Amino acid sequence: MRQFNNLVSTLFITLGIFSGFSQECPPLDMEAAQTEIKEIPGETMGQKLESLLFWSQEERAHRFSMMHALFPSIQVAVGTEVNPLQKGLTTEPMWKGITTLKSYMNDNHVKGVLVLKDGKIRLERYADGVDAATLWTSFSVAKSVSSMLVGVALKEGAIENLNDPLEKYISELQGQDYGKVTVEQLLTMASGIDWNEDYEDPNSDVAQMYLKPCEGAEAHILTYMKPMESIHKPGTQWNYSTGETDMTGILIQKATGKSLAEYLSEHIWKPFGMEHCAYWLADECSQMNIGGSGLSASLRDYARLGLLMLQNGAIEGRSVFSSSWLNRATSPHYPINDQGDGYGYLWWCYKDGSYVALGIFGQMLYINPHKNIVIAQMAAWPRAGSEKLSNERQNFIEAVFRALD
């Protein structure tokens, strides 16, 4: 435990400070975090982090707002200017049945919702104990943010081409099946390599990937995934894999020489005027950020990410994303159902042109370019996911549409 706590302190001290014009981030309550971490089972950061899939409802509700203090994290610094979100006429979602916004939030353990229409706040509501400054973990919403950073790296030339093999950037993958997978195949989860994403199975890949001891300074995910072999030809089969988004994070960091947190701060958080400092979880072995989850940010700043996407990445008239990424990221590459919906570059894409970043336990960043709407939600669902909970979330989106029409 002493080694784990020392790692937390070292990461905050050595990696939490960035150059450039920044506001000082509020200090974290590390004493409270170290008291809490003792209650989480496991001897290593990886083991403790994997345990979250099986936390109680009370533990989820309490810990999701302090993940960045519980586990090694790297600061995403803000700049000196905040991009203000103007307030429009407040609206209340309109359900067809007896559901109200209050009952929706209470019944589904939703901690905050925010709706932007035409860039203005039309709805912002928080549960007790949560407010506009609360940082909430994103889980797989971070996958889509990692995708955005690939778009930045392509624009900047750090990643040269979507058709490049991963071994060009990640030397550890040379000679491995994963080394031949292209950047685009990784972004679309079409590597052809098997992966089990069952959140309720303790033996699944997603529940096992951080459990083994560190092998030197190699990232957990590289140690776990690099010997995996193909079962399909790359580019022919879609299979949802958090491991591949962690690998995307490795790709970005190897290509740019910067942590995801620093790269996000430099190219999006500061120039777009985010309101609050954010934090991104880091791997205990490599001290590199975890690309598939672990970004903690405020609800308004999640919504600002959606606003940036609506603007095609434009900051001061210039897109931060490459055209090759922007033209394909939110278009379906592989079908996910029979209704015409699909999967893009780590975004779920719907046939009506909307797209969404989704995280387990109810996190959401929904973007509808045709209606000029962004909906952000943070939650602590009683399960990682289920058809019922997903339907309730979709009903909420539709209730928002009815209110705004």
What per-residue string of b and e applies to 370-403 under the rule 16 or more CB within 10 Å gives b? ebebbbbbbbbbbebbeeebeebbebbbebbeeb
Structure tokens at 142: 């971070």
Number of DSSP helices (H) and strands (E) in the chain, helices first: 16, 14
Q: Which value, to the nearest 10 degrees, does the dihedral of the CA atoms of residues 154, 156, 159, 161 take?
A: 50
List Cβ neighbours of 34 (8 Å cut-off, separation of 6 or more): 5, 8
Alpha-helix residue ranges (DSSP H) falling in 257-381: 260-264, 299-310, 323-326
Residues in the chain: 405
Q: By C-alpha distance, which of 274, 292, 282 is closest to 225?
A: 292
Alpha-helix residue ranges (DSSP H) falling in 284-386: 299-310, 323-326
pTM for this one? Answer: 0.94
- The CATH H-level superfamily of 2-87+107-404 is DD-peptidase/beta-lactamase superfamily (3.40.710.10)
Integer CA distances (angstroms), 325 to 4, 83, 157, 263, 300, in order: 38, 25, 12, 17, 25
Rounded (5°) CA angle 105-107-113? 15
Instruction: Give the whole-angstrom CA distance, residue 380 versus residue 49.
Output: 16
Structure tokens at 20: 């450039």
Return per-residue pLDDT of the chain as tens, 405 residues. 334 444 444 344 334 333 345 677 888 888 889 999 999 999 998 999 999 999 999 999 999 999 999 999 999 999 999 999 999 999 999 999 999 999 999 999 999 999 999 999 999 999 999 999 999 999 999 999 999 999 999 999 999 999 999 999 999 999 999 999 999 999 999 999 999 999 999 999 999 999 999 999 999 999 999 999 999 999 999 999 999 999 999 999 999 999 999 999 999 999 999 999 999 999 999 999 999 999 999 999 999 999 999 999 999 999 999 999 999 999 999 999 999 999 999 999 999 999 999 999 999 999 999 999 999 999 999 999 999 999 999 999 999 999 998
- Domain residue spans in the chain? 2-87+107-404
Contact 146, 291 (CB under 8 A): yes
Contact 330, 354 (CB under 8 A): no
Instruction: Give the whole-angstrom CA distance, residue 303 versus residue 281.
Output: 20
